[in-house]
Amino acid sequence: MAESLQAASPETLAAFDTARPAVEDDVARRCLAEDDPTAAMGPDAETKIRAGLGFVSKMLRATLAFGAEGILNDEMDWGKTRLPEYGVSAVMVLRNFERYTTALEQRLPAAALNEVRPYLDHMVAMQRAIAGSRK
């Protein structure tokens, strides 16, 4: 597969690293408040959500660092298969990717966001396809 996403600059990676903790916290709080994940995931839903968001950040950062779309594609495919085992629906993942995008839009400088946006758009589009959504 040809890689279409370009590696991000060191400045963008640094901005992403700075924003990441607040982004993960914002998305986790919104998910807990808006989705009632405890009903599907049990009493340790918050722990699972935060662990999942940490994984998303690490996956996204690796893809940003190397411009390797395959990393993102492989992890999205893995999530499609494994996350339902933990009570995480494709729709919940989609909403959290959309929240993640919004949180990064609020925290990254414009130049960094321009580099990150194609990755976010790719993640959201892939998850929409997995969830069967046509937004």
CB-CB contact of 131 with 79 (8 Å): no
Give the domain range for residue 67: 10-131
Number of structural domains in the chain: 1
The reported pLDDT for the residue numbered 118 is 95
Task: Pull the structure tokens for residue 59.
Answer: 């996956």
Other CB atoms within 10 A of residue 56 CB? 21
Task: Pull the structure tokens for residue 50.
Answer: 């935060």
Residue for token digits 């629906």? 89
**Residue 68: inside a domain:** yes
Rounded to two decimals, the pTM is 0.90
**Residue 4: inside a domain:** no
For residue 40, give the amino acid letter. A
Residue for token digits 């949180």? 103
**Residue 3: inside a domain:** no
| pLDDT by 10-residue block (mean), the chain, 135 residues | 77 98 97 87 90 94 90 86 85 94 98 96 93 66
**Residue 1: inside a domain:** no
The reported pLDDT for the residue numbered 3 is 53
The reported pLDDT for the residue numbered 1 is 36
Outline where the chain has alpha helix (H). Answer: 10-35, 38-41, 45-66, 69-82, 90-107, 110-131
CB-CB contact of 25 with 107 (8 Å): no
Output Rg (C-alpha) for the chain, integer angstroms: 14
Chain centroid, CA 128 distance in Å: 13
